[in-house]
Amino acid sequence: MTHANKLKLGAIAAGTMTALLLASTSLATADTPADVLVQVGEAGPNSLDPMAPAANELSQMVAWQIYDRLVTHGLKTLPDGTVSYDVTKIEPQLAESWDISEDGTEMVFHLRQDAMFHDGTPVTAEDVRWSFARAVAAGGFPAVQMAAGSMTDPDMFSVVDEHTFKITLDAPNKLTLPDLAVPVPDVVNKDLALEHATEDDPWALQWTAQNDAGSGPFEVTSWKPGNQIVFSRFEDWKSGPLPEMRRVIYREVPSAGTRRALLEKGDVDVSSGLPPKDYAEMAEAGQVKVIGSLMQNEMFFVDMNTKIAPFDNKLVRQAVAYALPYDAIMSQALYDRGEPMYGADASSGYAPEWPVASPYDTDLDKARELLAEAGLADGFATDLYIDMSQTTIQEPMALLIKEQLAKIGIDITINKVPGSDWFARMGSQTMPMDINYFYGWLDYPEYFYFWTYDGITNAVFNTPAYNNPELDAMTRTALSLDGGAEYDQTISAMNAIVMEDVPRAPVAHLYSDIAMQQNVEGYVYWFHTNLDYRFITKN
């Protein structure tokens, strides 16, 4: 069967399933088929390839299902009974084994010889080499992600033979191996992609944004942007046990109320992206299963652009940090689906970890004093930007902030940015204030700093346009150290710097929440926070 025919059949099947789901909304006990998973979410992917410019977060979810990576992580069961990926265990996926030189600069990967792409062609070391070079050349987010593992030059990647791939680094980096398990160094079908390359697009990024070129456990059989995407199990997948789900349908349902109702009526299996209020209420009711995992290496915060007046003045940033309505945000916007990251006693310094709570708490008198010291006793007007794909949390939070800051003379105008434009707006570093969050795919404090505070890489997540050469040097030092006293001292000092300069005001350490039918098993928390369809079962 050709890929085009698969897409047609998938579209027909998806349409039939959608009709059945809509027709059954009045049935309280409607069940989806045992080998079909139906998930609903607020937004969907705007690309099938996270390498594509302006690809959104859901494109990473797609890539996780349809592409292989050289390695993956093992799993572990947490004390509360939930299952998480294990950051300490790197296991084979497309690579059956690997060798690392004694000095850590050479890594040789031995590929499975029976792996094939979705079009039936074999996966070779040349596909891996080309894919890695492509990730580096793509620029933007993919290139910075590769750089986190010191993979910055296409010449670092070479082919030893048809099934042996080699990485040669300038210096060892503890992040290189785990960096191969994230959704960026996906292995792409080189020959298929190059059939659609152009002079202006030599890496075929435009084509892969719309088409599947993977070898992963699922393949895309239908995609209607803004509506739904359908995955079908790739029966010839060799890089792990075949998933139990034969088909997965991810539907975009913008209304949170509708997404919750569909789940509670039994018409869908999984609902993601619901407001914290819904998760809190459903967890208490116990009708459906709600799993909340504290996101690793994550922080939810308010950014202030250090290049835009008056936030180029540290006193103003500190004033805002003292004025934010933290408790109200936790209870009225987040419904306590997270841990507070404010009001800490920093008199004895900061722990060598991340996230850590800030010393700021709501103190309007202190905020007024700092504004007066900055020469802005009468306040000022500014803009606060929010991501429309996160409005269920960010809009009520923005309204609380607007009301609160008005008490110290700061007049806030709230601006809503479409989710499809959010990454581009972040990268422009032109928002005076914004509500945002970041979770690190690699569980190291310095990795968070590399992505969000670093002035050298000018990373897309450095929305405050913060540039502190001292901090950047400390980040590089931490990246070069593998634990020990010097490492701990460096991280603690880094934490002290960003809490003093406060380019972003920490608010909370959030849960990654998801709700599902009681018969859905196999949920695994992953660093990317998306569902991994490989492990899902239904009983």
Q: Are 379 and 408 in contact (CB under 8 A)?
A: yes
State the burial class of residue 294 (Cβ atoms within 10 Å of its Cβ: 0-12, 13-18, 19+).
middle
Closest of 63, 96, 74, 62 to residue 239, by C-alpha: 96
Q: What pLDDT is stored for residue 456 in this prediction?
A: 81
Q: Are 73 and 91 in contact (CB under 8 A)?
A: yes
Q: Are strands 247-252 and 218-224 parallel, antiparallel or unpaired?
A: unpaired
**CA–CA separation, 352 and 120 (whole Å):** 49
Q: Among the CATH numbers 3.20.20.70, 2.40.37.10, 3.40.50.2300, 3.10.105.10, which is that of 298-512? A: 3.10.105.10
Q: What pLDDT is stored for residue 32 in this prediction?
A: 82
Domain ranges of the chain: 3-269+517-538, 298-512
**DSSP bridge partners of 314:** none
Q: What pLDDT is stored for residue 459 in this prediction?
A: 66
End-to-end Cα, the chain, rounded Å: 31
The residue ranges of the chain whose pLDDT is under 50 are 1-30
Phi, psi of 287 (to 5 degrees): -70, -40
Distances (CA, A) of 126 to 168, 209, 430: 15, 21, 40
**DSSP bridge partners of 252:** 41
Q: For residue range 275-284, list pLDDT tens digits in order.
A: 999 999 999 9
Other beta carbons within 10 angstroms of residue 275's beta carbon come to: 22
Could you please state the CATH topology (level 3) that the domain comprising 3-269+517-538 is classified under: D-Maltodextrin-Binding Protein; domain 2 (3.40.190)
**CA–CA separation, 401 and 133 (whole Å):** 44
The token pair that represents 88 in the structure block: 């300490």
Q: Are strands 164-168 and 106-111 parallel, antiparallel or unpaired?
A: antiparallel
Q: For residue range 229-238, list pLDDT tens digits in order.
A: 999 999 999 9
Q: What pLDDT is stored for residue 13 in this prediction?
A: 43
* Residue keyed to tokens 């986190």: 148
Q: Are 368 and 408 in contact (CB under 8 A)?
A: yes
- Answer whether 3-269+517-538 and 298-512 agree in fold: no
Q: What pLDDT is stored for residue 424 in this prediction?
A: 86
Q: What share of the chain is helix, strand, coil (3-state, %, to 5)?
A: 35, 25, 40
Amino acid letter, 295? M
